[in-house]
Amino acid sequence: MGFLASRIRKEQFNPHVIGIFTNPFYFSRRGLFLAMTTLGKELQGKLLDVGCGTKPYEQYLSVTQYVGLEIDTERSRTTSKADVFYDGNKFPFGRDEFDSLIANEVFEHVFNPEEFLTEVNRVLKLGGKLLVTVPFVWDEHEQPHDYARYTSFGLQHILEQHGFEIVKHQKSVNDIRVLFQLFNEYIYKKTYVHNVILRQFLNTLFISPFTLLGLFIYWIFPSNDDLYLDNIVLARKVKNV
């Protein structure tokens, strides 16, 4: 039972076959994993992971030092793998301290995006790489701390305003799987129970059939760059702000 629970936890961020039957967010998490591990190869040196959580992608990145940063709350102190905690405003690091920075599914929770990106720019070295992922089509989550959705154009504009140029921009899950993921999420929230075993049983019973169906038919339908789950952007710092 311990092995199974451990495997299911691993499938939450890096879902494979088991994740089809256990992860209600299979399409979203699979898309993010592929993007993070592909574009993550561009990151190097000393890396800062802002809003690191459990550092789910650390083992897949070849950097010399990995520093996790989280806002200082009772929950983050007990559930995250952060190395450093802060007040949610000024990063507790010096200027030009990092070669790379990740903000994975964090930016939508930032109520002060201008100040946040100013801090990102400050701690990154000139020429340093920023990898940011942010949802475009998604429900409100981690309420009440969910503040924004960004189009690809809005995200590019605000990054360029803060001293970054776009190196690569991907739209994750830009096809019919968007609809299956949203439907699965709807079912998940409407059948959610606190008992972990029962919740997993309900996920497998009611959600995995739609995941399988989405996997089978998305090859038939054309992609749609106007409707997608996540923006994934690799940017380079080109000036101080």
> pLDDT tens digit string along 203-240?
999 999 999 999 999 999 999 999 999 999 999 999 99
pLDDT class for 96, splitting at 50, 70, 90?
very high
Q: What is the pLDDT of residue 99?
A: 98
CA 116 to chain centre: 17
Sheet holding 230-237, edge to edge: 84-86, 65-71, 46-50, 98-104, 124-135, 230-237, 164-172
- Pick the closest to residue 234 from 31, 38, 27, 14 (CA basis): 38
Counted domains in the chain: 1
pLDDT: is 52 or 11 the higher one?
52
Tell me what pLDDT residue 10 has: 77
Do residues 124 and 237 touch, judged by C-beta distance below 8 A?
yes
pLDDT tens profile 55-85: 999 999 999 999 999 999 999 999 999 999 9
Tokens 């929770």 sit on residue:
109
Instruction: Kindly tell me if the per-residue pLDDT of 105 is higher than 60.
Output: yes
Handedness of CA 22, 24, 30, 32 (dihedral sign): negative
pLDDT at 224: 95
Mean residue pLDDT across the chain: 94
Contact between 186 and 180 (Cβ < 8 Å): no
Q: What is the CATH number of the domain that holds 167?
A: 3.40.50.150
Model pLDDT, residue 3 = 60
Q: At 237, which amino acid appears?
A: K
**In this structure, what DSSP letter does residue 101 have?**
E
pLDDT at 5 over 80: no
User: What's the rounded Cα separation, in Å, for the pair 20 and 147?
Assistant: 30
Range of the domain at 31: 2-237
Please state whether the predicted TM-score (pTM) of the whole model is above 0.75.
yes
DSSP 232: E
Tokens of 13: 């961020």
The CA radius of gyration of the chain, in Å to the nearest whole number, is 18
Give 143-196 pLDDT, tens digit per residue: 999 999 999 999 999 999 999 999 999 999 999 999 999 999 999 999 999 998
The three-point CA angle 173-177-183 to 5° equals 125
pLDDT at 168: 97
Which residues, in sequence order, are CB contacts of 236 under 8 Å at separation 6+? 127, 128, 129, 130, 164, 165, 167
Return the number of other C-beta atoms located less than 10 Å from residue 209's C-beta: 12
